[in-house]
Structure 1
Amino acid sequence: MTQLSTLACEACQLDAPKVTDTEQEILNQQIPDWNVLDRDGIKQLERVYKFKNFKLAMAFSNRVAELAEAEFHHPGILTEWGKVTVTWWSHSIKGLHKNDFIMAAKTDLLI
């Protein structure tokens, strides 16, 4: 299987397929620190990153924002003292697409 972090996001249209449960299981193996959550019927990938202080957390948030702009795929980012929560999902399809797993893997490389 191709390493997720080496892939680029593809344009995601309203009719793009969500990942199947089987695909999700396979993709999850490459991002084991991420959790799949269901918020109001929408599956999302989420991970909390811990830092020593707010300045380091903010710097990481900015790197995530730069990555999101480069790939034109944007997460939820919650920056707090000593931690950053990043949430990926595909807004257009209201669920998870392969793009979300790619971006989660790329986010892990920003540490």
Structure 2
Amino acid sequence: MLDGVFLALADPTRRAVIHRLGRGPASVGDLAREATMTLPSFMKHVRMLESNGLIRTAKSGRVRTCELNRERFAVVEDWLAQQRRLWEGRTDRLERFVTDTQERKPT
């Protein structure tokens, strides 16, 4: 689940799509015009983002519109928050160790 999200976000084209969709929904055609690849190649990126739950698509007639699935980003936020707490705890312990070591040094 988390691995798929990070894999989807690892590609600069997919990150550009996410960035663009942050401003609001857009058609696949509009998104593809901003990419430097063929539409079939671009659609692989759209499918990757959709299969990992980062975007939703809906078809109306001949137009497929994409929008962010903002709730899915909670998985990334939760993981980052856990990592932040872990590293902040480690740096706090390191700071206490250095401070205690310096205070115990004979002058």
So what's the TM-score if we normalise by structure 1? 0.28
More strand by share: 1
The structure having more radius of gyration, on CA atoms, is 2
The structure whose residues are more often helix, as a share, is: 2
TM-score normalized with structure 2 length: 0.29
